[in-house]
Amino acid sequence: MVIQIIATIIILIIFYQLVKKIIKDKASLTRIIFWVLFWGISLIIIWLPKETIDNIGSIFGVGRGIDVLVYLSIILLFYSNFKQTEKIDKLEKEITKLVREIAKLERR
Amino acid sequence: MDISQVYITIPLYNDSKMILKVIKSLNDNGYNNIVVVDDGSSDNGYELVKNNTNVIITKHIINRGQGAALQTAMEIAINKGAKYIVHFDSDGQHNPKDIQPMLNTLIEGNYDIVLGSRFLKKNKIPLKKRILLKGGILFTYLFSHIWLTDVHNGIRVMTSETAKKLNIQHDRFEHASEILDKIKILNLKYTEVPVTIKYTKYSMSKGQSISNSINIAYKLISSKIKE
Domain of B50?
A: 3-124+153-166+185-206
- pLDDT beyond 90 at B18: yes
H-type alpha helices, chain B: 19-28, 45-52, 66-79, 99-108, 127-144, 160-166, 175-185, 201-206, 210-226
- Domain membership of residue B174 (yes or no) is no
Specify if B175 maps to a domain. no
Please tell me which of the candidates B50, B58, B64 has its beta carbon nearest to residue A104. Answer: B58
Task: Round the CA-based radius of gyration of chain A to a whole number and report it.
Answer: 21
Interatomic CA distance for residues A92 and A84, integer angstroms: 12
Q: What is the ipTM of this complex?
A: 0.86
pLDDT in tens, A49-99: 888 888 888 888 887 777 877 888 899 899 999 999 999 999 999 999 999
pTM for this predicted structure: 0.81
- Chain A contact probe: residue of B37, B47, B53, B58 with most A CBs at under 10 A: B58
Angle between helices A65-105 and A29-47 (to 10 degrees): 160
Spatial distance between the Cα atoms of B62 and A53, rounded to a whole number of angstroms: 53
Note the pLDDT tens digit of each residue in B132-187: 888 888 888 888 888 899 888 899 999 999 999 999 999 988 899 899 999 999 99
Let me know: does B202 contact B18? Beta carbons within 8 Å.
yes
DSSP A106: T
Residue B90 lies in a domain: yes
| Count of domains for chain B | 1
Is B179 part of any domain? Answer: no
CATH code, domain carrying B70: 3.90.550.10
Cβ within 8 Å, pair B56-A86: no
Residue B135 lies inside a defined structural domain of this protein = no
